[in-house]
Amino acid sequence: MNDISDRSIMTALGRQLTRAVAKQSVTVGNLANLDTPGYKTRAVSFDDVLDQQVQGGSPVAVTHAGHLPGMAGAAAGGQINEVAGLATRRDGNNVELDRELLQMSRASGDFAAAQTALAAKFRLLRYAIAESR
């Protein structure tokens, strides 16, 4: 039987917060370059790294002893890639305002969900400590 520990829950929530922040950071970069000629939309992809690990592909490279495995490419363990299939304007830029705002909203929702779960966990801990006195 699988036992889910407090540590694994906290770790998973921390990863979710980190990924949401990474997605927001890339989206903010896209929005900042909305009018930059030649700029190509970027996105953080975590699926590629996960697929490599599951399929037994080459492990994520660690270039420095202080780096954590899986942190290459983006702060949260994903890879930052250009988004394919978007319409390009005459200036070579393919950033779409509506798409980026939707991505920002999704990342914000992911962050809020993880933050709410984390706050509930801490409320339970505070309650347990107060009741033991």
27: left (phi over 0), alpha (psi -120 to 50) or beta: alpha
Q: DSSP character for 44?
A: E
* pLDDT tens-digit map of 35-85: 999 999 999 987 655 555 566 655 555 565 555 444 334 456 688 999 999
pLDDT(110) > 90 = yes
Q: Distance between CA atoms of 63 and 2, rounded to whole angstroms?
A: 34
In this prediction, residue 125 carries a pLDDT of 86
| Sequence-distant (≥ 6) Cβ neighbours of residue 48 within 8 angstroms | 78, 79, 81
Total-model pTM: 0.71
Per-residue pLDDT band at 131 (split at 50, 70, 90): confident
In this prediction, residue 70 carries a pLDDT of 42
pLDDT(88) > 80 = yes
* pLDDT tens-digit map of 70-83: 433 445 668 899 99
